[in-house]
Chains A and B, each alone.
Chain A
């Protein structure tokens, strides 16, 4: 296909066909009748539309972290009053991750929400009081910079912690410019367990939750343990198409996911038992010879020899300078190196070897050890522990095998403290099935080729995309990595530093970059204690989150509808870049700024020379000049790099990015990993027996195993329950959680099973008291009696209840957001000492309210 043809086709059809109507609601609702003439059965006349004063602007949704493709239509000559734009799902079926769920649909009401932060705020009451005065940006930036400088001078820059969930690139101007090591992502309550498990089994390059995923376009059967799949919405769209072709889907979850309404099987289970369920499935696969022996022998480390102490046998066991990553296997005749060309090692072998020190040890293949290990996980035992029928485990195993199915590898997965084992167990099942990088199998996201804005050399030198340099020494390791070496982001390290005095050095200041601590980090009481003790708390955000009430300064930032962003697309196997455009200006009374600008303005006040070295000149102090010229030049340079990476013309790439919102550089390619490109694990294989944690002494053996949730006291007795939470596609995110509609569409009650309600003589809608077994936190809430939750378990949607910011009392119609509970009132703050993973579940006692 040549470029001209592609351009012409998309120009007429991106809003066309059956989905041309996608724009229709816009026209009617807004009274933009004059635009209607540009929409016809064969597509849309974009140039005519533009000449009539309308513009189509593609963007990506940030109402949660999935970044789905949206499109805005804006009346360019109208004031930014909310009537000047609408947004809807990107209608181009070639977009690999398009669509709008209930959270995305709240974006316009977020834009002009009464909870929108519109001016910089300075605290005037006690922390937590929510008492502020509005101040100017100049005053805010001057005072924040002075306070930050004071902390740096007294305690060093490492005593400042920047907490973020997204926006690490945007705040990097400040963190890198300050040479601050502590930019900590709030991953530990989100994806850490999965990231660490995937890293242990497949290596760092395959650890991210968006790197490996089922090929939904072609899937036949997908089991989703602990995953609702209510984001990204593009995956749901593709799954819907697959279901129309006969694909099936099952959810293993203590609570019924909304997505399961869509013809999905819900397997109700006891919380914290995904691991034992999956190991029971593995047992069936092995016992019934339903595994892919060829894959297991060639591409997993199950043929590798393991010594009696659990360590892998390697060349280092035989030679003084031997390579510990040259592992040993049995080829049917003798023990040989694992990496010999054409070698297909034996699975079953047990024998003895003489090591370099003369000792003789017994060795067995990991396969033999796995067979013994799985004897502890019969379907009968797994069923008993997980609270599911034996027949379900057997049926799921057989279905996975006969339908060439896969087990989804989860995203938001830190729940009970044993979650890394759950991910390892499901990857064990995937390894036995051997369904990798094939149509309908577990496939791998290729690099999208979008260059970054800032980079850092090993000597610490910072380089910008514009070729500017700032020579600084390496900043050192983050404090959470010092305390939890395997973690990808554990904010609890900061809490321990401040509250308990633990860690290598004290944290004195906290800078929240659109980070909602109360809904994301465990043990609210300790979070509050930390906030009281800190010398300085600064928060940027778009809405008045609960953390704002505890901040000394609140800096209002722009939302995705108001800014540009170039990035790669996650959760797709087609390398794709997206360019989000600003759909509209901020509301007229909202004096909000971009995070990058805030960071550079603070940097220039603290270290003017460093800001200048990064290219931040005086003229960029004007926010619009900064956006157009500073960021605009960087965007152009990044597009040039992107085009060069794919051997494309930069002007053409930019034009397509603006016109369509995205560029896909090639189609999916199957058959690469692990067949042509090995995994990044020590062995290069899928390590069903994970070597890294065994070598580090974290574990006695490398298999997934089941342990009772260590993160909270196990409930016992009729009044004690697990308290679990999950996400609603209608409101569970930091931003959408404060939308008006969330009060009604994302139920903020606590669910209880009808049998439990009957035992306790509780009726639907009754108000009860919940008391945390570990934290002692007591809260009143309304119970909903429903079959959507496993017996012995309570469930509530995360983010949609228990908001305590004072502004809710003063904002008519939004009071309902304060109802319900925040699950983290009851969580303990326990951290897995090896992975750094936190958790989101807890245990509570129910008391009736008299």
Chain B
């Protein structure tokens, strides 16, 4: 359900990615496409020259030259520039604290694409509308009290999803127990995509 201005979500659902457990196998990326955009399984996402997934793998190196890898996706910010920017009210917070897109209101102007500091959207070639985590199928999963496709697919215990408001949820407990960070914290977007930095 769409939140009204100033209304607090009943849940604060968040993604957790444990980079220390992730083996970069790609199962989550493929599962995302297969679940949320199955029509794109044999089609290129030309904007990123990539598979049409809401998760993107970004390789880099740290200051010491050691290889690093980031799985990037929508951060479901609690102060999301995309929500503020959309001229049509198509991007909104739902009562689970997730950032969602109402395609009935969206005209594909791409303002949200430009506004997002995490650069996570892709444009669907069939309707020209932006796509991101979570896709409709994963939102349906969450509504059915299920985990998103990426969490289900991960073979290495590297992904989790749950309610930050629930002190007993696995994500809350993991974040309490293990060192973690968010991306672009100083941007002030209050992201809810947490990167856990240690397996134990």
Q: Which residues of A contact B (CB under 8 A)?
A: 18-22, 24-25, 27-29, 36, 86, 88-89, 99-102, 104-106, 108-109, 113-114, 229-230, 233, 236-237, 240-241, 243-246, 256, 258-263, 266, 728-731, 740-741, 743-746, 754, 786-788, 813
Contacts and interface: CB of A to CB of B under 8 A. Distances in A.
Contact of B199 (A20, A100, A104, A243): A243
A101 B43 contact: no
B41 interface: yes
Contacts of B151: 21
A788 B67 contact: yes
A266 B66 contact: yes
B155 interface: yes
A229 B24 CA distance: 12
B27 A101 contact: yes
B61 A787 contact: yes
A266 B24 CA distance: 15
A730 B155 CA distance: 13
A801 B51 CA distance: 17
Q: Among A99, A261, A741, A754, which residue has the most Cβ atoms of chain B within 10 A? A: A261
Interface stretch (B73-81, B101-109, B136-144): B136-144
Q: Among B34, B35, B155, which residue has the most Cβ atoms of chain A within 10 A? A: B155
Contact of A729 (B23, B38, B43): B23
Q: Among B20, B33, B153, which residue has the most Cβ atoms of chain A within 10 A? A: B153
B25 interface: yes
Given A24-B141, A28-B144, A256-B67, A262 B26 contact: no
Contacts of A786: 59, 61, 67
A20 B42 CA distance: 29
B166 interface: no
Given A21-B151, A28-B141, 16 more contacts: A24-B141, A25-B149, A29-B149, A102-B26, A108-B34, A240-B157, A256-B67, A258-B24, A261-B67, A262-B22, A729-B26, A730-B24, A745-B51, A746-B26, A787-B65, A788-B67
A113 B41 CA distance: 10
Contacts of B19: 261-263
Interface string B166-200: 00001000000000000000000000000000111
Given A244-B157, A786-B67, A787-B65, A24 B146 contact: yes
A241 B30 contact: no
A740 B141 CA distance: 26
B46 to A, nearest CB: 11
A246 B152 contact: no
B50 interface: yes
B3 interface: no
Nearest to A755: B65
B94 interface: no
23 contacts: A18-B170, A21-B146, A21-B151, A25-B35, A25-B152, A28-B146, A29-B34, A88-B152, A89-B155, A104-B27, A229-B23, A236-B156, A240-B156, A246-B200, A256-B67, A258-B24, A261-B22, A261-B68, A730-B25, A730-B29, A740-B43, A786-B67, A813-B43
Contacts of B65: 754, 787
Q: Among A86, A256, A744, which residue has the most Cβ atoms of chain B within 10 A? A: A744
Contacts of B44: 743-744, 813
Contacts of A104: 27
A754 B60 CA distance: 12
Contact of A245 (B140, B157, B200): B200
